Amino acid sequence: MNDNQLVLMLKNDDRKVFNTIFKQHYRSLLAYVVTFTGNKNKAKDIVQDSFIVLWDKRKNLSEDSSLKSYLFTVAHNLYITQYRKKATEIKFFDELKFNALNDRIFEDDTFTKERVKKLLDLIDELPPKCKEVLLLNKKEGLKYAEISKKLNISIKTVESQMRIAFKKIRLGFKKDELYLFMAFKDSLHNLFRI
Cα 1 from Cα 114, distance rounded (Å)? 81
189 in a structural domain: yes
pLDDT recorded at residue 145: 92
pLDDT recorded at residue 166: 85
Contacts of 32 (CB under 8 A, 6+ apart): 72, 75
28 in a structural domain: yes
Answer yes or no: do 58 and 12 share one domain: yes
96 in a structural domain: no
Count of domains forming the chain: 2
Q: Residue 169 sits in a domain of what CATH number?
A: 1.10.10
Cα 60 from Cα 64, distance rounded (Å)? 12
pLDDT tens for the chain, residues 1 to 194: 787 788 888 888 889 988 999 999 999 999 999 988 888 998 999 999 999 999 999 888 888 878 888 899 999 999 888 877 776 766 666 666 666 666 555 555 566 677 778 788 888 888 999 989 988 888 888 899 999 999 999 989 999 998 888 888 888 877 555 444 445 555 555 555 54
Answer yes or no: do 80 and 153 share one domain: no
pLDDT recorded at residue 178: 46
162 in a structural domain: yes
Helical pair 67-124 and 177-193, crossing angle rounded to 10 deg: 80
Domain residues for the domain of 161 are 125-193
Q: Are 139 and 190 in contact (CB under 8 A)?
A: no
pTM over 0.75: no
Cα 2 from Cα 66, distance rounded (Å)? 9
Cα 193 from Cα 174, distance rounded (Å)? 26
Answer yes or no: do 65 and 140 share one domain: no
**Single-letter code of the amino acid located at 166:** F
Domain end: 43, 67, 91, which one? 91
